[in-house]
Amino acid sequence: MSNLQKVTVLGGGVLGGQIAWHSAFKGKEVVVYDISNAALDRCRAAHEQYAAIYLAEVGATDPDIADTRSRLTYTTVLATAAAGRDLVIEAVPEIPDLKIQVYREMAPLLSPDTLVATNSSTLLPRDFADVTGRPAKYCAMHFANMIWAMNLLEIMAHPGTADETLAAATEYAIEIGMIPIPVRKEQNGYILNTWFVQLLNASQTLVTNGIATPEDIDRTYLIVNPGAPRGPMGAFDMVGMETAYNVVAHWGSVTGDEQMLANARYIKENFLDKGKLGLQTGEGYYTYPDPAYADPGFLAVPDISRAADIAALARPRQP
């Protein structure tokens, strides 16, 4: 046993909310911390959606869901979230300065034995180890979105992570039904996001530059990846536009990649500024709960009467 029973998740957004719900479902006592009651209300609403999903897809019973809810508490008070916890999983937005601020505020509030882990999508644990105040008890624990179905947990150390920390993190992963994936060297993006971020950014480039529609990008992907549940533009909605923007804007700035920065501007102007955050708000590239890519006709061969209209779309437009 990991002895990690009292858990706090810092940040109740898309993935933070999933980590909190699933950990509670698996018997952990979980506190969700976020900066506002509005953010916590959104997390609670997402948890009600997960309750329905776990009943329908995971085999949960009504008593299981009641027990899960009983193990969850929500707070905007960092001292309450940090006190007496065995494990804190940081899932705040992918903004380095914000993560540093949270770690610095939290460090003096933690018990000496508390382990701290980051669920950062693309940043390295070494970037934050010192500001946690306990570098030996710090590592990365990266969960995949849709945690109930994509049950992997990537575990990545920094040079100062203690062996005991990695052992406890691995045991925790197994206790909550995850397959632990050891990342053998520090890598921005671990295994999963090393290729996933590239896929999403390349797909967004096609949209930003007017090469293809989101629907045709996803059609192409789904045809050559039979059985995939969604294409890359649907994946944007699943990940959430805020996270997608933060990742693309950060790495565009770090690398000086003008295309990534253009992609970030497109996401901001077309989604964030309009309150369209993806699956979280019911609208992103698609509208939910019935996105176009889930329609049985999405991949159907079109009627020949549409040939002329489709052909006209292949004629290059003047810039």
| Domain chopping of the chain, boundaries | 6-183, 192-313
For domain 192-313, the CATH superfamily is: N-(1-d-carboxylethyl)-l-norvaline Dehydrogenase; domain 2 (1.10.1040.10)
Give me the pLDDT at residue 214, please: 97
Whether residue 249 is predicted with pLDDT greater than 90 in this model: the reply is: yes
Whether residue 319 is predicted with pLDDT greater than 90 in this model: the reply is: no
What does the DSSP assignment read for 228-249?
-S--HHHHHHHH-HHHHHHHHH
Distance CA 313, CA 166 (A): 53
Digit-coded pLDDT (tens) for 39-53: 999 999 999 999 999
Both structure tokens of 154: 């990537």
Inter-CA distances, 294 with 79, 231, 290, Å: 44, 10, 7
Digit-coded pLDDT (tens) for 59-110: 999 999 999 999 999 999 999 999 999 999 999 999 999 999 999 999 999 9
Distance CA 176, CA 205 (A): 37
The lowest-confidence range among 126-135, 232-241, 308-317 is 308-317
Digit-coded pLDDT (tens) for 141-186: 999 999 999 999 999 999 999 999 999 999 999 999 999 999 999 9
Is residue 138 classed as helix, strand or coil in its secondary structure? strand
Mean pLDDT of the chain: 95
**Phi-psi group of 30: left, alpha or beta (phi > 0 → left; psi -120 to 50 → alpha; rest → beta):** beta
DSSP character for 144? Answer: P
CA angle 203-209-211, nearest 5°? 70
Level-2 CATH architecture, domain 6-183 = 3-Layer(aba) Sandwich (3.40)
What's the rounded mean pLDDT across residues 301-306? 94
